[in-house]
Amino acid sequence: MLGYTCVFFEQVSLKITVHFSFVRNYENLTGFSEGSVVTIGSFDGVHLGHQAIIRKVKEGAEKSGLLAVALLFEPQPYEYFSGENAPARLMRMRDKVEKLLGLGLDRVVCLQFNERLRTLSANDFIAGVLVRGLCVKTLVIGDDFRFGADRTGDFALLQKEGRRLGFEVIRNPTVAFDGDRISSTRVRQVLERADFELAETLLGKPCEISGRVVYGQQLGRTLGIPTINVQLRRYRSPLVGVFAVDVCVRGHRVRGVANIGVRPTVGGLDKPILEVHLLDFSDRVYGEKVIVTFRKKIRDEQKFSSLDALKAQIGKDIESAQQFFG
């Protein structure tokens, strides 16, 4: 057997409430003997293009009485090759899995992308993972899908091997908006310019970041502007700067001002962090999950000459957010 074990890029354990729906290594590929309809990808952001593929997988599985499965990798292949220089993730692994299961998939399978998998030939991947592991009967892929060592596998090879090994291959057409292909790269570009209206159109939902509130350095509290801190657990964020946000906390929606960055005025961080000052809310919510929805960019992150200058600017940011919310 291939012996894959998934090690999360975000270095956090993943707990999914739906039992047996998330499979983390090759040895756990059991229960697929009746066959499956499978799609493969990174699914970063689970945007409308991804959702179209998932719908086709789900429809095919329901029609044939098979399992609907998404196969993904951790770290994502481009992260494996680029390391800290990889493009920013659009969502955490936990949120991605929950979103995919919420769209109606029966299983989400994660394999570690490592040197062993990188050098696995396309034919061995098809035979070992898809056929023996997942008992694939139908494979649904995007029009740009490549796989195997040096990306030598493509649609033509899948069709050839499918005829030989007994599975169908369906290529899902490009999903476009305003004449341009919807992709994770395009979503990142849209978020970099803080076009949250277009981002919501491409994602099929508002731009959100979720996570649990952690203890910070309490700097905001000493400045008289307390914040809640959410660790992003990533080297880069598609959003950097100060934003007017809505925060779902304890089932209530609260307005706030958020900063995403490395805090250059107070020494800087290795990885960006999300800090939110909640307007008209003062309860302590350490350890609780919050969902931060981004509404408008106020300014870029910048370094100030002193804490007093930083405090004065935060006051202006709060005023800008209040004016935005009206």
CA dihedral 158, 89, 292, 208 (to 10 degrees): -30
User: Average pLDDT per run of 10 along the chain, which is 326 residues long?
Assistant: 33 41 82 94 95 97 97 88 86 92 96 88 93 96 80 88 96 93 96 97 96 77 83 84 96 94 74 91 89 97 89 95 95
pTM of the predicted protein model: 0.87
CA dihedral 234, 200, 178, 299 (to 10 degrees): -70
| Parts of the chain belonging to CATH 2.40.30.30 | 207-325
What pLDDT does 149 receive?
74
What pLDDT does 86 receive?
86
Distance CA 144, CA 193 (A): 26
Given CATH 2.40.30.30, say whether it is the number of domain 207-325. yes
| Parts of the chain belonging to CATH 3.40.50.620 | 22-177
> What φ, ψ does residue 83 adopt, rounded to 5°?
60, -130
* C-alpha distance across the termini of the chain, in Å: 60
In CATH, the number for domain 22-177 is 3.40.50.620
**Is 285:228 a contact under the CB 8 Å cutoff?**
yes
What pLDDT does 218 receive?
62
**Is 64:32 a contact under the CB 8 Å cutoff?**
no
Type and span of the H or E element at 26: none
The tokens for 261 are 């960055």
